[in-house]
Amino acid sequence: MYYNYFGLKQAPFKITPDPRLFFTGGNRGATLDALIYAITSGEGVIKVVGEVGSCKTMLCRMLEVELPRNVEIVYFANPRLAPEHVLHAIAFELKLPVNNGDDRLKVLQVLQDFLLRKHADNRRVVVFIEEAQSMPVATLEEIRLLTNLETSEDKLLQIVLFGQPELDDTLGLHEIRQLRERITYHFYLAPFTADEIRAYINSRLLACGYRAGEPFTPAAVRAIARHSRGLLRRINILADKAMLAAYAENATRVDRRHVLIAAQDSEFLVESGHNWWPWAVAAAAGLLVVMGIALYGWLTDTPFGFPQPPAAVKNTLGNAPGGPGAVAPEPDRASGKYLAGPGGTPPSN
């Protein structure tokens, strides 16, 4: 809808993974290169962990494009496989001559023979498992048994687990420790920073034909960083709706207000915290008052700086019958002598 208005040739922020729009910043390019190296080196099990919408599926698509032609890929989109179905699923993906009724031992033998032929032809087979955090523990253990298919030098089958952080919790279980010990590479896809989000947005717009500078203001980028939490899928959704809001107002740039509209519509809006600064100012003012009183007391040698009675009065109070704190007798104004104090006893001069 807004594509022609901003001079774009295609949608820049579709959430469907498009390898043509892959962004190498935010450590995604380095992670892709490391994955390619690990797979082509014949390492057994590899793990890629990231939050929802952090580019895991895009990395799968990029690996399909960038891996050498001698690597054959088996892709598991449904992780909720029962352990007894894992071998059949791999065999069907590789188009091996097996049936649903064949027992596990026969399917395993057919798969091993196939992998040995591939290895003799200098070819590799790798299994991508998405949403691995949802895979039952028994199925993960079946996956681990597949890593036993090997020659004296190389693994015949490689496994790449893509999952959310809950995958680490599952792999931490005692009963799955053998699989955890076989993971040779661990990759974590961190959320994007505000600077990386700015570069990502500009990279996508440039790839889609935008040629008029940076349409998102710095405040808009900061708002996207705040409400997206750095996750790519949310960044795409917010950027797309923010550009639509700017188009609706005939604005030439996307500002913070347009992003807030997009965040509200997408239910990504992060509410502001309480206004703490008035309380902080009041507390600081109170502290200054207390410090001033204490300083005055130190300079005048009086506790807390409050006025004290003269020394003569203090001495009189201290010598009054009854000890400190007793009421001193008053002198007789005619004779100048003290009247009897409390209890009728005349005080000494």
Classify strands 183-189 and 157-163 as parallel, antiparallel or unpaired: unpaired
48 phi and psi angles, rounded to 5 deg: -125, 120
Model confidence at 342: pLDDT above 70: no
Write the pLDDT tens digit of every residue in 307-325.
555 554 444 444 444 444 4
Flag whether the pTM goes above 0.85. no
Output the six-digit token pair for 62.
């990029």
Q: Where in the chain is the domain with CATH 1.10.8.60?
A: 194-266
End-to-end CA separation in angstroms for the chain: 105
- Which homologous superfamily is 27-189 in? P-loop containing nucleotide triphosphate hydrolases (3.40.50.300)
Residues near 267 by beta carbon (within 8 Å), at least 6 away in sequence? none
Write the pLDDT tens digit of every residue in 13-66.
999 999 999 999 999 999 999 999 999 988 779 999 999 999 999 999 999 999
Question: How is domain 194-266 classified at the CATH fold level?
Answer: Helicase, Ruva Protein; domain 3 (1.10.8)
Q: Where in the chain is the domain with CATH 3.40.50.300?
A: 27-189
Whether the Cβ atoms of residue 172 and residue 182 lie closer than 8 Å to each other: no
Write the pLDDT tens digit of every residue in 56-100.
999 999 999 999 999 999 998 777 888 888 999 999 999 999 988
Which strands make up the sheet holding 45-50, listed edge to edge?
71-76, 124-129, 157-163, 45-50, 183-189
Task: Look at 72 and 305; give whichever has higher pLDDT.
Answer: 72
